Amino acid sequence: MSNRLADALVEIRDLHFAHGDRQVLKGINLAIPRGKVVAILGVSGCGKTTLLRHVGGQLKPARGSVSFDGQVVHELDNDALYAMRRKMGMMFQVSGLFSDLSVFDNIAYPMREHTDLPEDVIRDLVLMKLHAVGLRGAHALRPSELSGGMERRVALARAIALDPTLIMYDEPFAGLDPISLNTIANLIRRLNDALGLTSIVVTYDVSESLKVADHVYFIHDGVVVAEGNASAMNASGDPFVHQFVHAEPDGPVAFQFPSRPFAEELDIPAAASGSKPGA
């Protein structure tokens, strides 16, 4: 067994999953080493969020397995699954903050829900988490009073509220201005190293993920098509990786979703489909 597999916090083997008749994952194999930031890249709809839901146990594979810290996730009963999830933090695509709670109470919520800590200890811990993301002074604000970048930082503070072993980031850079985007990327890297975490970042943002990730996986058509560090990905000769990294319009990823010929969709007779309008 390789060192990377032996030291993997998350290991995914031959993972298959379908939504109805549409095969989303067709045999994913990858490993997330402890203490590293790993980016999983791919176009929208390629199954990145579906992959995270298997790691968290929200979905069960049709075939294959996902292991977290030596446990096969889909084999756990409810009690063991909930215990496992306490070792995980999640930063959702749209932050997922409670709109009627203050920033402080959003961060305190998992502490109050899952621990018996007294309020004075919770207060200190919340302020520490907010200080780590630069928002200690915003603790009394509501989510509606935050900018997009601030909202993501609060979501990040909540993700680390219970000092998890693993943090999963679902499109953490989407919709952010360049300054906020760079701030979130730097926080992901800094917090991972300072707190001894393991991080999975699923995204379609190439430039930021390649800056902060130790290792990168590219997913296309339900499988891993390439993996390596940032320099290896920039130099990759794989057609999909090259198209994705360099944002080229032509390549394996087509603009049109697979469909019947357009003339058939419009019920245009074959003979007429090549004629001029009005002919």
- Condensed to tens digits (0 to 9), the pLDDT of residues 3-31 reads 555 589 999 999 999 988 888 999 999 99
Q: What is the pLDDT of residues 34-43, one digit of tens each?
A: 999 999 988 8
Taking the C-alpha atoms of residue 122 and residue 119, their distance in angstroms, rounded to an integer, is 5
Closest CA to 125 of 138, 108, 101: 108
Q: Residue 13 has what DSSP assignment?
A: E
The tokens describing 267, both together, are 């019920």
Which pLDDT does position 276 carry in this prediction? Answer: 54
Closest CA to 107 of 149, 160, 147, 150: 160
For residue 228, list its beta bridge partners: 216
CB neighbour list of residue 94: distance below 8 Å, 6 or more residues apart: none
Confidence of residue 116 (pLDDT cuts 50, 70, 90): very high
Which pLDDT does position 6 carry in this prediction? Answer: 58
Q: How far is CA 129 from CA 97, 157, 161, 168, 191, in A?
A: 15, 5, 7, 17, 10
Asked if 28 and 223 touch (Cβ cutoff 8 Å), the reply is yes
Which pLDDT does position 111 carry in this prediction? Answer: 94
- 95 compared with 105, residue with greater pLDDT: 105
The answer to which of 128-142, 237-251, 262-276 has the lowest mean pLDDT is: 262-276
For residue 201, list its beta bridge partners: 39, 169
Provide the 10 A C-beta neighbour count for residue 268: 14
Taking the C-alpha atoms of residue 51 and residue 17, their distance in angstroms, rounded to an integer, is 9
Beta-strand ranges (E) seen in 69-149 are: 71-72, 88-91
Measure the CA angle with vertex 191, ends 42 and 76; round to 5°: 65
Confidence of residue 1 (pLDDT cuts 50, 70, 90): very low
Taking the C-alpha atoms of residue 36 and residue 38, their distance in angstroms, rounded to an integer, is 6
Which pLDDT does position 271 carry in this prediction? Answer: 58
First-last CA distance in the chain? 69
Does the pTM surpass 0.85? The reply is: no
Which pLDDT does position 272 carry in this prediction? Answer: 58
